């Protein structure tokens, strides 16, 4: 289960049935859950925890120090949930500030050469395609699909069930359930209709989301008035996530 050329620090904790491939280095203060498979030439740096039944492919570097000029050392962390697929060459940096965490939720699929900067937070069932780059402090909701070569500026927030089109650039917040236009910056194309149909949302939920989206982007109202209309019409449920998200946005939201 452990290749003879792998180097594993005695201070690392490996669960039951963990496999480790050739020339992989696992340093001290690393925890790997039961049944996980760590491929060849992987580097897992200190203060990294990986959940059970994850599969880490060749050349990934997990828990590297942050690429941040403000980093002054100290103990910070990477936390990766269960059942994650981490493909070739993925890099995940630990937090900048002491005791801070870069978090990857359960059931995420991170494709080859995607990058996750310090203090990134991914929800559950997030798919990130090849070459996507997430800068520091980016937050991504559950069931988001980030297409290949997308670039996300630091501090942006992406709501749940969003789809980002290929090679788009994001420096504004993306409200839940939206589809971002490929090859452009900060431009909403419409709702992520396919993602909504595939989700567990009811027909009523989807219809309310559609009406809230129209109020926000297609009613001619300014943002503040649109948000108030959404709050009045939909005080709870998934549609209310849109008004709450916009209220809490610090970067402003993408245009349509």
The total of other beta-carbon atoms located within 10 Å of residue 25's CB is 16
Pair 27, 123 in one domain: yes
pLDDT value of residue 112: 98
**240 within domain boundaries:** yes
- What percentage of the chain carries pLDDT values higher than 90? 99
Pair 114, 210 in one domain: no
User: Domain holding 17: CATH number?
Assistant: 2.160.10.10
* Domain hosting residue 211, numbered range: 197-248
Number of domains observed in the structure of the chain: 2
**172 within domain boundaries:** no
pLDDT value of residue 119: 98
pLDDT value of residue 116: 98
**32 within domain boundaries:** yes
Pair 18, 132 in one domain: yes
CA–CA gap between residue 152 and residue 186 (Å, rounded): 10
CA–CA gap between residue 82 and residue 51 (Å, rounded): 4
pLDDT value of residue 189: 97
Enumerate residue ranges in the chain where pLDDT < 70.
Answer: none
60-89 per-position pLDDT tens digit: 999 999 999 999 999 999 999 999 999 999
pLDDT value of residue 57: 98
Boundary (domain end) residue, out of 100, 120, 137: 137
Nearest Cα to 92, choosing from 145, 138, 160? 138
pLDDT value of residue 69: 93
Contacts of residues 198-203 at CB distance under 8 Å and 24 or more positions apart, as own/partner, are: 199/143, 199/161, 201/238
């Amino acid at each position: 289960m452990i290749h003879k050329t792998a180097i594993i620090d005695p201070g690392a904790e490996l669960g039951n049935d963990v496999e480790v491939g050739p020339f992989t280095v696992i340093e001290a203060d690393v925890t790997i859950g039961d049944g996980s498979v760590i491929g060849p030439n992987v580097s897992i740096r200190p203060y990294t925890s990986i959940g059970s039944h994850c599969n880490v492919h060749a050349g990934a570097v997990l828990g590297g120090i942050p690429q941040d000029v403000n980093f002054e050392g100290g103990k910070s962390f990477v936390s990766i949930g269960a059942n994650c697929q981490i493909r070739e060459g993925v890099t995940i940096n630990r937090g900048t500030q002491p005791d801070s965490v870069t978090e990857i939720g359960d059931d995420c699929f991170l494709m080859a050469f995607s990058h996750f900067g310090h203090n990134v937070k991914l929800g559950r069932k997030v798919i990130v395609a090849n070459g996507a780059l997430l800068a520091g402090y980016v937050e991504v909701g559950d069931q988001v699909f980030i297409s290949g070569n997308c670039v996300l500026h630091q501090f942006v927030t992406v709501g749940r069930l969003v789809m980002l089109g290929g090679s788009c650039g994001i420096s504004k917040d993306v409200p839940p359930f939206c589809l971002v236009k490929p090859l452009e910056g900060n431009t909403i194309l419409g709702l992520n209709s396919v993602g909504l149909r595939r989700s567990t949302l009811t027909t009523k939920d989807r219809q309310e989301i559609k009406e809230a989206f129209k109020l926000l982007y297609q009613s001619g109202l300014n943002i503040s008035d649109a948000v108030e209309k959404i709050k009045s019409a939909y005080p709870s449920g998934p549609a209310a996530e849109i008004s709450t998200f916009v209220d809490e946005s610090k970067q402003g939201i993408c245009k349509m």
